[in-house]
A and B are shown apart, each in its own frame.
Chain A
Protein backbone atom coordinates (compact mmCIF):
# COMPACT_ATOMS: atom_id res chain seq x y z
CA UNK A 1 0.00 0.00 0.00
CA UNK A 2 2.70 2.32 0.94
CA UNK A 3 4.49 1.38 -2.26
CA UNK A 4 1.45 2.40 -4.31
CA UNK A 5 1.26 5.71 -2.56
CA UNK A 6 4.91 6.28 -3.16
CA UNK A 7 4.55 5.57 -6.85
CA UNK A 8 1.60 7.85 -7.20
CA UNK A 9 3.49 10.68 -5.58
CA UNK A 10 6.35 10.17 -7.97
CA UNK A 11 3.98 10.26 -10.92
CA UNK A 12 2.48 13.54 -9.86
CA UNK A 13 3.62 16.25 -12.20
CA UNK A 14 5.14 19.46 -11.00
CA UNK A 15 1.53 20.55 -11.17
CA UNK A 16 1.02 24.24 -11.05
CA UNK A 17 3.92 24.99 -13.30
CA UNK A 18 2.35 22.99 -16.12
CA UNK A 19 -1.15 24.33 -15.73
CA UNK A 20 0.21 27.77 -15.51
CA UNK A 21 1.39 28.32 -19.02
CA UNK A 22 -0.09 30.78 -21.49
CA UNK A 23 -2.12 28.99 -24.14
CA UNK A 24 -1.31 30.21 -27.56
CA UNK A 25 -4.60 29.09 -29.18
CA UNK A 26 -6.20 32.25 -30.49
CA UNK A 27 -9.78 31.14 -29.76
CA UNK A 28 -9.09 30.31 -26.13
CA UNK A 29 -8.87 32.97 -23.46
CA UNK A 30 -5.29 34.18 -23.37
CA UNK A 31 -4.83 33.27 -19.75
CA UNK A 32 -6.63 30.35 -18.26
CA UNK A 33 -5.62 28.79 -15.02
CA UNK A 34 -7.04 26.45 -12.43
CA UNK A 35 -8.22 27.84 -9.17
CA UNK A 36 -5.55 26.00 -7.18
CA UNK A 37 -2.72 27.57 -9.11
CA UNK A 38 -1.31 30.99 -8.67
CA UNK A 39 -3.21 32.29 -11.58
CA UNK A 40 -1.47 35.20 -13.17
CA UNK A 41 2.06 34.27 -12.35
CA UNK A 42 2.10 32.85 -15.85
CA UNK A 43 1.81 36.34 -17.18
CA UNK A 44 4.86 37.49 -15.40
CA UNK A 45 7.77 38.62 -17.49
CA UNK A 46 10.02 36.39 -15.44
CA UNK A 47 11.36 33.28 -17.13
CA UNK A 48 9.44 30.09 -16.37
CA UNK A 49 12.33 28.55 -14.54
CA UNK A 50 12.25 31.26 -11.97
CA UNK A 51 8.64 30.72 -11.03
CA UNK A 52 7.95 29.43 -7.61
CA UNK A 53 4.68 27.60 -7.99
CA UNK A 54 4.60 25.90 -4.63
CA UNK A 55 5.67 28.78 -2.48
CA UNK A 56 3.58 31.33 -4.34
CA UNK A 57 0.37 29.43 -3.66
CA UNK A 58 -1.91 31.70 -1.73
CA UNK A 59 0.23 34.72 -2.62
CA UNK A 60 -0.75 37.32 -5.16
CA UNK A 61 -0.99 36.95 -8.90
CA UNK A 62 1.38 39.09 -10.89
CA UNK A 63 1.27 40.97 -14.15
CA UNK A 64 4.89 41.59 -14.97
CA UNK A 65 6.28 44.86 -16.23
CA UNK A 66 6.64 43.66 -19.83
CA UNK A 67 3.02 42.58 -20.03
CA UNK A 68 0.21 44.59 -21.55
CA UNK A 69 -3.44 43.64 -21.22
CA UNK A 70 -6.45 45.18 -22.90
CA UNK A 71 -9.70 43.99 -21.41
CA UNK A 72 -11.35 42.99 -18.21
CA UNK A 73 -9.62 41.37 -15.28
CA UNK A 74 -11.53 39.57 -12.55
CA UNK A 75 -9.54 38.03 -9.80
CA UNK A 76 -10.32 36.00 -6.71
CA UNK A 77 -6.91 36.55 -5.26
CA UNK A 78 -4.65 39.50 -4.66
CA UNK A 79 -3.13 40.97 -7.77
CA UNK A 80 0.11 42.82 -8.38
CA UNK A 81 0.23 44.83 -11.59
CA UNK A 82 3.59 46.06 -12.76
CA UNK A 83 2.69 46.16 -16.45
CA UNK A 84 0.12 48.01 -18.54
CA UNK A 85 -3.58 47.35 -18.19
CA UNK A 86 -6.38 49.01 -20.09
CA UNK A 87 -9.99 48.17 -19.35
CA UNK A 88 -11.34 47.20 -15.97
CA UNK A 89 -9.94 45.43 -12.94
CA UNK A 90 -12.20 43.84 -10.36
CA UNK A 91 -10.93 42.08 -7.28
CA UNK A 92 -13.93 42.36 -5.06
CA UNK A 93 -12.53 41.00 -1.82
CA UNK A 94 -8.87 41.27 -2.57
CA UNK A 95 -5.97 43.60 -2.71
CA UNK A 96 -4.67 45.26 -5.84
CA UNK A 97 -1.15 46.62 -5.90
CA UNK A 98 0.02 48.77 -8.79
CA UNK A 99 3.79 48.44 -8.80
CA UNK A 100 6.19 51.28 -9.58
CA UNK A 101 6.22 50.32 -13.28
CA UNK A 102 2.49 49.70 -13.42
CA UNK A 103 0.28 51.79 -15.68
CA UNK A 104 -3.40 51.18 -15.29
CA UNK A 105 -5.90 52.94 -17.52
CA UNK A 106 -8.89 51.27 -16.06
CA UNK A 107 -11.75 51.44 -13.68
CA UNK A 108 -10.67 49.61 -10.56
CA UNK A 109 -12.71 47.85 -7.89
CA UNK A 110 -11.01 46.08 -5.02
CA UNK A 111 -11.05 45.68 -1.29
CA UNK A 112 -7.75 47.43 -0.96
CA UNK A 113 -5.67 49.33 -3.48
CA UNK A 114 -2.02 50.26 -3.11
CA UNK A 115 -0.68 52.55 -5.82
CA UNK A 116 3.02 52.95 -6.47
CA UNK A 117 2.67 53.54 -10.20
CA UNK A 118 0.09 55.23 -12.39
CA UNK A 119 -3.66 54.83 -12.27
CA UNK A 120 -5.90 56.67 -14.65
CA UNK A 121 -9.49 55.83 -13.93
CA UNK A 122 -11.98 55.72 -11.13
CA UNK A 123 -11.13 53.62 -8.12
CA UNK A 124 -13.46 51.95 -5.66
CA UNK A 125 -11.64 50.47 -2.71
CA UNK A 126 -14.13 49.15 -0.21
CA UNK A 127 -11.65 49.14 2.64
CA UNK A 128 -8.84 51.50 1.83
CA UNK A 129 -6.55 53.01 -0.73
CA UNK A 130 -2.93 53.89 -0.29
CA UNK A 131 -1.24 56.30 -2.71
CA UNK A 132 2.49 56.16 -2.27
CA UNK A 133 4.83 59.09 -2.78
CA UNK A 134 5.80 58.61 -6.43
CA UNK A 135 2.40 57.37 -7.51
CA UNK A 136 0.11 59.24 -9.85
CA UNK A 137 -3.64 58.84 -9.70
CA UNK A 138 -6.04 60.70 -11.94
CA UNK A 139 -9.63 59.76 -11.26
CA UNK A 140 -12.34 59.73 -8.68
CA UNK A 141 -11.95 57.66 -5.55
CA UNK A 142 -14.60 55.98 -3.46
CA UNK A 143 -13.28 54.37 -0.34
CA UNK A 144 -13.67 54.02 3.39
CA UNK A 145 -10.15 55.16 4.12
CA UNK A 146 -7.40 56.89 2.21
CA UNK A 147 -3.71 57.18 2.90
CA UNK A 148 -1.73 59.50 0.70
CA UNK A 149 1.96 60.13 0.98
CA UNK A 150 3.61 63.47 0.39
CA UNK A 151 4.82 63.76 -3.17
CA UNK A 152 2.03 61.65 -4.62
CA UNK A 153 0.11 63.23 -7.47
CA UNK A 154 -3.62 63.05 -7.20
CA UNK A 155 -6.17 64.75 -9.38
CA UNK A 156 -9.78 63.97 -8.79
CA UNK A 157 -12.32 63.66 -6.05
CA UNK A 158 -12.54 61.61 -2.89
CA UNK A 159 -15.76 60.23 -1.53
CA UNK A 160 -15.44 58.60 1.84
CA UNK A 161 -18.04 55.87 2.10
CA UNK A 162 -18.72 53.83 5.18
CA UNK A 163 -18.02 50.14 4.67
CA UNK A 164 -21.13 48.03 4.28
CA UNK A 165 -21.77 45.43 6.96
CA UNK A 166 -20.62 42.07 5.65
CA UNK A 167 -23.84 40.14 6.18
CA UNK A 168 -23.49 38.14 3.00
CA UNK A 169 -19.88 37.32 3.67
CA UNK A 170 -20.68 35.61 6.96
CA UNK A 171 -22.96 33.09 5.26
CA UNK A 172 -21.31 29.79 4.43
CA UNK A 173 -20.19 29.66 0.81
CA UNK A 174 -20.99 26.68 -1.37
CA UNK A 175 -17.86 24.61 -1.89
CA UNK A 176 -17.23 23.64 -5.49
CA UNK A 177 -14.69 21.13 -4.25
CA UNK A 178 -14.58 18.52 -7.01
CA UNK A 179 -15.57 20.70 -9.91
CA UNK A 180 -12.82 22.56 -11.75
CA UNK A 181 -13.13 26.09 -10.61
CA UNK A 182 -13.99 28.88 -13.01
CA UNK A 183 -11.20 31.01 -14.28
CA UNK A 184 -9.90 33.02 -11.40
CA UNK A 185 -8.40 35.71 -13.49
CA UNK A 186 -9.39 36.16 -17.06
CA UNK A 187 -8.49 38.78 -19.49
CA UNK A 188 -11.36 39.54 -21.85
CA UNK A 189 -11.57 37.05 -24.65
CA UNK A 190 -9.40 37.89 -27.55
CA UNK A 191 -8.47 41.22 -26.10
CA UNK A 192 -5.26 40.44 -24.37
CA UNK A 193 -2.08 41.54 -25.95
CA UNK A 194 1.10 40.27 -24.46
CA UNK A 195 4.33 42.02 -25.34
CA UNK A 196 7.82 41.25 -24.41
Chain B
Protein backbone atom coordinates (compact mmCIF):
# COMPACT_ATOMS: atom_id res chain seq x y z
CA UNK B 1 0.00 0.00 0.00
CA UNK B 2 2.88 2.31 0.94
CA UNK B 3 4.65 1.51 -2.35
CA UNK B 4 1.49 2.20 -4.27
CA UNK B 5 0.99 5.55 -2.59
CA UNK B 6 4.66 6.45 -3.25
CA UNK B 7 4.20 5.63 -6.92
CA UNK B 8 1.01 7.62 -6.99
CA UNK B 9 2.82 10.58 -5.43
CA UNK B 10 5.70 10.40 -7.89
CA UNK B 11 3.25 10.07 -10.76
CA UNK B 12 1.45 13.16 -9.56
CA UNK B 13 4.70 15.00 -9.00
CA UNK B 14 6.04 14.09 -12.43
CA UNK B 15 4.12 16.43 -14.70
CA UNK B 16 4.75 19.39 -12.44
CA UNK B 17 8.51 19.10 -12.66
CA UNK B 18 8.37 18.51 -16.37
CA UNK B 19 6.38 21.69 -16.82
CA UNK B 20 8.91 23.89 -15.11
CA UNK B 21 12.03 23.75 -17.34
CA UNK B 22 10.58 26.30 -19.76
CA UNK B 23 11.40 28.98 -17.22
CA UNK B 24 15.21 29.25 -17.37
CA UNK B 25 15.11 29.36 -21.14
CA UNK B 26 12.86 32.33 -20.90
CA UNK B 27 15.19 34.00 -18.47
CA UNK B 28 18.09 33.58 -20.85
CA UNK B 29 16.48 35.63 -23.55
CA UNK B 30 17.97 38.89 -22.30
CA UNK B 31 21.56 37.89 -21.64
CA UNK B 32 23.10 41.27 -20.90
CA UNK B 33 20.54 42.25 -18.40
CA UNK B 34 20.50 39.04 -16.53
CA UNK B 35 19.42 39.13 -12.96
CA UNK B 36 15.67 39.73 -13.03
CA UNK B 37 14.86 38.59 -16.52
CA UNK B 38 12.39 35.80 -16.50
CA UNK B 39 11.33 33.19 -14.04
CA UNK B 40 14.09 31.83 -11.88
CA UNK B 41 15.20 28.30 -11.58
CA UNK B 42 14.22 28.06 -7.93
CA UNK B 43 10.82 29.09 -6.78
CA UNK B 44 9.57 29.20 -3.25
CA UNK B 45 6.61 30.70 -1.53
CA UNK B 46 7.16 32.27 1.83
CA UNK B 47 5.31 34.26 4.40
CA UNK B 48 6.56 37.81 4.76
CA UNK B 49 5.92 39.78 7.90
CA UNK B 50 7.75 42.71 6.41
CA UNK B 51 5.35 42.82 3.48
CA UNK B 52 2.43 42.45 5.84
CA UNK B 53 3.70 45.39 7.85
CA UNK B 54 4.42 47.43 4.72
CA UNK B 55 0.92 47.14 3.28
CA UNK B 56 -0.66 47.13 6.74
CA UNK B 57 0.61 50.66 7.18
CA UNK B 58 -1.34 51.74 4.08
CA UNK B 59 -4.54 49.98 5.04
CA UNK B 60 -7.74 51.82 4.09
CA UNK B 61 -5.83 54.19 1.84
CA UNK B 62 -5.95 54.37 -1.93
CA UNK B 63 -4.26 56.44 -4.59
CA UNK B 64 -0.82 56.14 -3.02
CA UNK B 65 2.37 56.06 -5.04
CA UNK B 66 4.33 52.85 -4.64
CA UNK B 67 7.71 52.32 -6.27
CA UNK B 68 8.93 48.80 -6.97
CA UNK B 69 12.68 48.59 -7.51
CA UNK B 70 12.51 44.98 -8.60
CA UNK B 71 11.33 45.69 -12.13
CA UNK B 72 7.81 45.21 -13.33
CA UNK B 73 6.20 41.88 -12.64
CA UNK B 74 2.63 41.02 -13.43
CA UNK B 75 1.95 39.86 -9.89
CA UNK B 76 3.20 43.01 -8.20
CA UNK B 77 1.41 45.27 -10.66
CA UNK B 78 -1.83 43.38 -10.15
CA UNK B 79 -1.56 43.42 -6.40
CA UNK B 80 -0.64 47.07 -6.00
CA UNK B 81 -3.06 48.43 -8.57
CA UNK B 82 -5.85 46.26 -7.15
CA UNK B 83 -5.41 48.17 -3.89
CA UNK B 84 -6.06 51.37 -5.84
CA UNK B 85 -2.48 52.60 -5.77
CA UNK B 86 -0.32 53.95 -8.54
CA UNK B 87 2.47 51.58 -9.43
CA UNK B 88 5.92 52.83 -10.35
CA UNK B 89 8.57 50.51 -11.69
CA UNK B 90 12.34 50.73 -11.77
CA UNK B 91 14.46 47.81 -12.79
CA UNK B 92 17.08 48.87 -10.31
CA UNK B 93 19.51 46.01 -10.71
CA UNK B 94 19.33 46.13 -14.47
CA UNK B 95 20.33 49.78 -14.38
CA UNK B 96 22.93 48.96 -11.75
CA UNK B 97 24.45 46.32 -13.98
CA UNK B 98 24.26 48.52 -17.05
CA UNK B 99 26.03 51.33 -15.18
CA UNK B 100 28.68 49.44 -13.28
CA UNK B 101 28.89 46.12 -15.10
CA UNK B 102 30.81 43.58 -13.11
CA UNK B 103 33.33 46.18 -11.97
CA UNK B 104 32.31 46.66 -8.37
CA UNK B 105 35.33 48.85 -7.56
CA UNK B 106 33.87 51.55 -9.79
CA UNK B 107 31.05 52.06 -7.33
CA UNK B 108 32.95 54.71 -5.39
CA UNK B 109 33.30 57.06 -8.35
CA UNK B 110 31.12 60.10 -7.47
CA UNK B 111 30.35 60.92 -11.09
CA UNK B 112 29.23 57.41 -11.79
CA UNK B 113 27.17 57.28 -8.61
CA UNK B 114 25.42 60.47 -9.63
CA UNK B 115 24.81 59.11 -13.12
CA UNK B 116 23.39 55.90 -11.69
CA UNK B 117 21.03 57.73 -9.34
CA UNK B 118 19.86 60.01 -12.13
CA UNK B 119 19.02 56.99 -14.23
CA UNK B 120 17.35 54.98 -11.52
CA UNK B 121 15.90 57.27 -8.86
CA UNK B 122 15.32 60.60 -10.55
CA UNK B 123 12.07 61.60 -8.86
CA UNK B 124 10.91 64.70 -7.06
CA UNK B 125 11.46 64.86 -3.34
CA UNK B 126 8.76 63.27 -1.20
CA UNK B 127 7.11 61.62 -4.16
CA UNK B 128 6.43 58.12 -2.87
CA UNK B 129 4.37 56.73 -0.06
CA UNK B 130 6.20 53.45 -0.20
CA UNK B 131 9.22 51.87 -1.85
CA UNK B 132 9.65 48.15 -2.33
CA UNK B 133 13.42 47.90 -2.37
CA UNK B 134 13.64 44.11 -2.03
CA UNK B 135 17.29 43.02 -2.03
CA UNK B 136 18.53 45.73 -4.40
CA UNK B 137 20.72 47.39 -1.78
CA UNK B 138 22.56 44.23 -0.93
CA UNK B 139 24.82 44.31 -3.99
CA UNK B 140 26.14 47.79 -3.41
CA UNK B 141 29.43 48.92 -2.06
CA UNK B 142 29.42 51.38 0.86
CA UNK B 143 29.77 54.66 -1.08
CA UNK B 144 27.03 53.85 -3.56
CA UNK B 145 24.89 52.33 -0.83
CA UNK B 146 25.03 55.46 1.31
CA UNK B 147 24.17 57.68 -1.66
CA UNK B 148 21.27 55.42 -2.60
CA UNK B 149 19.90 55.33 0.96
CA UNK B 150 20.06 59.12 1.01
CA UNK B 151 18.21 59.38 -2.30
CA UNK B 152 15.54 56.96 -1.06
CA UNK B 153 15.08 59.11 2.00
CA UNK B 154 14.57 62.15 -0.23
CA UNK B 155 12.00 60.63 -2.53
CA UNK B 156 9.93 59.11 0.27
CA UNK B 157 7.19 61.17 1.80
CA UNK B 158 7.28 61.76 5.55
CA UNK B 159 5.77 58.66 7.22
CA UNK B 160 6.50 56.73 4.05
CA UNK B 161 7.89 53.20 4.22
CA UNK B 162 10.71 51.31 2.57
CA UNK B 163 10.89 47.52 2.54
CA UNK B 164 14.33 46.02 2.08
CA UNK B 165 15.57 42.45 2.30
CA UNK B 166 19.02 41.17 3.29
CA UNK B 167 20.06 37.60 2.86
CA UNK B 168 22.67 37.40 5.54
CA UNK B 169 24.19 39.39 8.35
CA UNK B 170 27.57 37.76 7.77
CA UNK B 171 30.16 38.54 5.16
CA UNK B 172 29.81 36.29 2.12
CA UNK B 173 31.40 35.91 -1.27
CA UNK B 174 28.12 35.77 -3.12
CA UNK B 175 24.47 36.39 -2.51
CA UNK B 176 21.58 34.90 -4.44
CA UNK B 177 19.86 36.95 -7.13
CA UNK B 178 16.18 36.94 -6.36
CA UNK B 179 12.94 38.13 -7.80
CA UNK B 180 10.10 38.91 -5.40
CA UNK B 181 6.52 38.52 -6.48
CA UNK B 182 3.63 39.43 -4.26
CA UNK B 183 1.01 36.72 -3.94
CA UNK B 184 -1.03 38.49 -1.28
CA UNK B 185 -0.42 41.00 1.50
CA UNK B 186 1.68 38.55 3.48
CA UNK B 187 2.90 36.00 0.95
CA UNK B 188 5.79 36.31 -1.46
CA UNK B 189 6.94 34.08 -4.25
CA UNK B 190 10.71 34.25 -4.43
CA UNK B 191 12.54 33.13 -7.55
CA UNK B 192 16.30 32.65 -7.57
CA UNK B 193 18.46 33.29 -10.63
CA UNK B 194 21.90 32.17 -9.60
CA UNK B 195 24.35 34.19 -7.53
CA UNK B 196 26.00 37.58 -7.61
CA UNK B 197 29.12 38.93 -5.98
CA UNK B 198 28.34 40.21 -2.51
CA UNK B 199 29.11 43.69 -1.29
CA UNK B 200 31.97 44.46 1.08
CA UNK B 201 29.36 46.07 3.26
CA UNK B 202 28.15 44.08 6.25
CA UNK B 203 24.42 43.97 6.73
CA UNK B 204 24.02 43.18 10.39
CA UNK B 205 21.41 45.02 12.42
CA UNK B 206 23.81 47.66 13.56
CA UNK B 207 25.12 48.54 10.10
CA UNK B 208 21.61 48.54 8.65
CA UNK B 209 20.48 50.92 11.37
CA UNK B 210 23.46 53.12 10.59
CA UNK B 211 22.66 53.00 6.89
CA UNK B 212 19.14 54.27 7.55
CA UNK B 213 20.05 56.67 10.32
CA UNK B 214 18.24 59.57 8.65
CA UNK B 215 14.98 57.66 8.84
CA UNK B 216 12.68 57.78 11.82
CA UNK B 217 12.58 54.06 12.57
CA UNK B 218 14.02 50.74 11.45
CA UNK B 219 12.27 47.46 12.18
CA UNK B 220 13.68 43.98 11.55
CA UNK B 221 11.86 40.75 10.85
CA UNK B 222 13.91 37.60 10.83
CA UNK B 223 12.53 35.07 8.38
CA UNK B 224 13.67 31.54 7.65
CA UNK B 225 17.02 30.92 5.93
CA UNK B 226 18.47 33.92 7.78
CA UNK B 227 16.59 36.27 5.49
CA UNK B 228 15.97 39.55 7.22
CA UNK B 229 13.23 41.89 6.16
CA UNK B 230 13.60 45.49 7.16
CA UNK B 231 10.88 48.10 7.30
CA UNK B 232 12.16 51.64 7.41
CA UNK B 233 9.94 54.60 8.11
CA UNK B 234 10.81 58.13 7.16
Stretch binding the partner chain, chosen from B1-9, B68-76, B225-233: B68-76
In Å, the complex CA distance between A131 and B91 comes to 15
A10 proximal to B (CB < 8 A): no
CA distance A151 to B31 in the complex (A): 10
In the complex, which residues of chain A have a beta carbon less than 8 angstroms from the beta carbon of B26?
Answer: 133, 150-151
Q: Which of B78-100 contact A (CB under 8 A)?
A: 81, 86-91, 94
What total of A-B pairs shows CB separation below 8 Å? 56
How many chain A residues touch B (CB < 8 A): the figure is 18
Chain A residues positioned under 8 Å from B176 (CB to CB): none
Contact bitstring B15-52, A, C-beta under 8 A = 1, else 0: 00000000000110110010001110000000000000
Q: How far is the CA of A134 from the CA of B94 in the complex (A)?
A: 14
Residue A46 is within 8 A (CB to CB) of chain B in the complex: no
- Report how many residues on chain B are interfacial, defined by Cβ distance under 8 Å: 22
Inter-chain contacts of A131 with B (CB < 8 A): 72
CB distance from A34 to the nearest CB of B (A): 41
| Bound-state Cα–Cα, A52 to B169, Å | 65
**Within 8 Å CB of B38, what residues of A?**
133, 150-151
CB-based contact A133/B71 at 8 Å: no
Interface: A74 (CB within 8 A): no
Q: A133-B26, A134-B29 are in contact. Are A150 and B87 (CB under 8 A)?
A: no
- CB distance A147 to B74 under 8 Å? yes
Check if B33 sits within 8 Å of A153, measured CB to CB: yes
Q: For the complex, is A157 an interface residue (Cβ under 8 Å from B)?
A: yes
Q: Which residues of B contact A152 (CB under 8 A)?
A: 72
Q: Taking the nearest CB of chain B, how far is it from the CB of A138, in angstroms?
A: 10
Contact with B along A126-162 (1 / 0, CB 8 A): 0000010110000000000011111111111111100
Report if B77 contacts A (CB, 8 A). yes
User: Are the CB atoms of B29 and A151 closer together than 8 Å?
Assistant: yes
Residues of B within 8 A of A159 (CB): 86
Q: How many angstroms from the CA of A146 to the CA of B72 in the assembled complex? A: 11
Is A146 a contact of B77 with CB atoms below 8 Å?
yes
Nearest CB of chain A from residue B83's CB, rounded to whole Å: 10
Q: Is the CB of A157 within 8 A of B91?
A: no
A154 touches B89 (CB 8 A): yes
Nearest-Cβ distance from residue B95 to partner chain A, whole angstroms: 8
Contact assessment for B72 and A134 in the assembled complex, using a CB-CB cutoff below 8 Å: no
Q: A73–B30 Cα gap in the complex (Å)?
A: 31
The answer to whether B89 touches A155 (Cβ under 8 A) is yes
Complexed CA–CA distance, A46 and B90 (Å): 38
- Counting chain A CB atoms within 10 Å of each CB, the highest count among B38, B73, B87 belongs to B87
Please give the distance in Å from A179's CB to the nearest CB on chain B.
44
Closest to A160 in B: B81
Least CB separation from B82: chain A residue: A160
A146 to B75, CA, bound (A): 11
Q: Which of B37, B77, B86 contacts A151 (CB 8 A)?
A: B37
Q: Is the CB of B77 within 8 A of A148?
A: yes
**A147→B74 CA distance, assembly (Å):** 7
Contacts of B90 in A (CB 8 A): 155
A195 to B20, CA, bound (A): 45
Question: Which chain B positions have C-beta within 8 A of A153?
Answer: 33, 71, 91, 94
Q: How far is the CB of B52 from chain A (nearest CB, A)?
A: 23
21 pairs of residues in contact across A and B, judged by CB atoms under 8 Å: A133-B26, A134-B30, A148-B73, A150-B26, A150-B27, A150-B39, A151-B26, A151-B27, A151-B29, A151-B30, A151-B37, A153-B33, A153-B71, A153-B91, A154-B71, A155-B89, A155-B90, A157-B88, A158-B72, A158-B77, A160-B81
A residues near B, CB below 8 A? 131, 133-134, 146-160
Given A153-B91, A156-B88, A157-B65, 16 more A-B residue pairs with CB atoms under 8 Å apart are: A133-B30, A146-B77, A148-B73, A148-B77, A150-B27, A150-B37, A150-B73, A150-B74, A151-B27, A153-B33, A153-B94, A155-B89, A157-B87, A158-B86, A158-B87, A160-B81
